[in-house]
Amino acid sequence: MAALLVSALALAACGREVGGETADGAPEGGDTGGGGAAASPPDCAVDEVDGDLLLYNWSDYMDPDLLTQFSEQYGVSATEDTYTSNEALLAQIRAGSADYDVIVPSDYMVAIMIDEGLLTPLNKDAIPNSQNVSADFTSPPYDPELAYSMPYQWGTTGLGVNLTKTGPDPEPTWGWLFDPEMAGNLRISMLDDPREGMGAALYYLGYDPNTQDEAQLQEAAALIAQADWIRTFTSDQFSDLLLTGETDIGQGYSGNFLDNFGDDENYAYFIPEEGATIWTDNMAVLGSSDSPCTAHTFINFILDAENGAQLTNWTYYASPNEAATEFIDPEVRDNPAIYPDEEVRQKLHFLENTGDAEVTYTELFTQAQQG
């Protein structure tokens, strides 16, 4: 894991998951509709709570037993709502309709939210378990020194396949989405995500997944638009559709596929040889939080070694919590699809905040989805 993050963090300034609203349109800092970030960290003590917890998270990304344990341990309620994309999360916050305490944005979205003044600076004294974070995650380019966020989980974006449809040893390529000879007779799903969807096409074409070249982006969008075998774009049902036989191949996230596949040898997850996305999701406190101390206590709770391991054992995503390693189930810890080997590591890239090009990604992807 250490080698993976050292090499991967050197590749990028930020990055991860799914799509929806554009990351354009709000001022950098000041009033964005979601409540600006506090000017300084809140004055919280270790294990202090100042209200109930409202968590806004990706779907199927939190062991419900951990929420129950937190609620019982600290005498507060712990409620979770879910979203399917970084962009949808940002849109809710900008609209002032995301009344939450802890959110879980991906790396490039952390950078955007910091720039827009949406996050509360963290009081590290209230999060002593931050010392459990692996050194490879303690100074990420999207949030140097973890001033606003703490790492939650990390993983990759690749393809889940039904081996009875592809054959027992499918070539690890994005061609399963875009090559008519490979995909033409299959039923495919792609993520409903401008950056990941366009990214898959860019990888296949041999382009930088963070390119701002409009001609390259147009070419990638055209590749998606011509793929009439793509049955649906979904960011939360890709593994379910595969397992129920409604699709044969799906683009999606490592842990979701691997957790749902279990021991079924008819299914496999792989990282395409042309390259793929690595991402880190992070816990952050909204500037508009009504319970910032409870939020800090929850982050500290998740960063506990055994709690961090419980989370990874439940999600099948890799843990940035070094102290948790000894408590992670061997079947997870030793799985190369969760913790890729050195050869695969060299093909992984973070998605970056591309600034004004974020709008282009979203517009072109939306057009491509319509065929």
How far is Cα 54 from Cα 62, in angstroms, rounded to an integer? 13
- In tens, the pLDDT along 20-79 reads 333 333 333 333 344 455 579 999 999 999 999 999 999 889 999 999 999 999 999 999
Taking 70 as the threshold, does the pLDDT of residue 331 lie above it?
A: yes
Mean per-residue pLDDT, 183-206: 95
Which burial class, exposed, middle or buried, applies to 46 when counting CB atoms under 10 A from its CB (0-12, 13-18, 19+)?
middle
Mean per-residue pLDDT, 113-142: 95
- pLDDT for residue 37: 53
The residue count for the chain: 371
- In tens, the pLDDT along 198-244 reads 999 999 999 999 999 999 999 999 999 999 999 999 998 999 999 99
Mean per-residue pLDDT, 181-207: 95
**pLDDT averaged over the chain?**
89
Mean per-residue pLDDT, 139-153: 94
Q: Considering only CA atoms, which of 314, 336, 329 is closest in space to residue 61?
A: 314
- pLDDT for residue 28: 35
The secondary structure of 99-153 as a DSSP string is --SEE--BHHHHHHHHHTT-BPPP-GGG-GGGGGB-GGGSS-TTSGGGSSEEEEE
Structure tokens at 97: 């309709």
The partner residues of 159 in beta bridges, in order of sequence, read 251, 270
Between these two residues, 328 and 95, which has the higher pLDDT value? 328
- pLDDT for residue 353: 84
Taking 80 as the threshold, does the pLDDT of residue 3 lie above it?
A: no
How far is Cα 364 from Cα 353, in angstroms, rounded to an integer? 17
- 285: alpha, beta or left? (left if phi > 0; alpha if psi -120 to 50): beta
Mean per-residue pLDDT, 111-121: 94
Q: Which of the four CATH numbers 3.40.50.620, 3.40.190.10, 3.40.50.300, 2.30.30.90 does domain 12-154+279-334 have?
A: 3.40.190.10
- pLDDT for residue 184: 86
Taking 50 as the threshold, does the pLDDT of residue 14 lie above it?
A: no
Helical (H) or strand (E) element with 69: helix 64-74
With vertex at residue 275, the alpha carbon angle to CA 315 and CA 12, rounded to the nearest 5 degrees, is: 80
- In tens, the pLDDT along 277-316 reads 999 999 999 999 999 999 999 999 999 999 999 999 999 9
Which burial class, exposed, middle or buried, applies to 189 when counting CB atoms under 10 A from its CB (0-12, 13-18, 19+)?
buried
Structure tokens at 172: 């690890």
Contact present, 276 and 348 (Cβ < 8 Å): yes
CATH H-level superfamily of 155-277+352-369: Periplasmic binding protein-like II (3.40.190.10)
Domain residue spans of the chain: 12-154+279-334, 155-277+352-369
Check if 12-154+279-334 and 155-277+352-369 are the same fold. Answer: yes
- 145: alpha, beta or left? (left if phi > 0; alpha if psi -120 to 50): left
- pLDDT for residue 238: 96
The pLDDT-based confidence of 84 (bands split at 50, 70, 90) is: confident
How far is Cα 146 from Cα 299, in angstroms, rounded to an integer? 13
- pLDDT for residue 2: 38
End-to-end Cα distance, the chain: 40
- pLDDT for residue 179: 96
Which burial class, exposed, middle or buried, applies to 168 when counting CB atoms under 10 A from its CB (0-12, 13-18, 19+)?
exposed
How far is Cα 272 from Cα 200, in angstroms, rounded to an integer? 9
- pLDDT for residue 335: 93
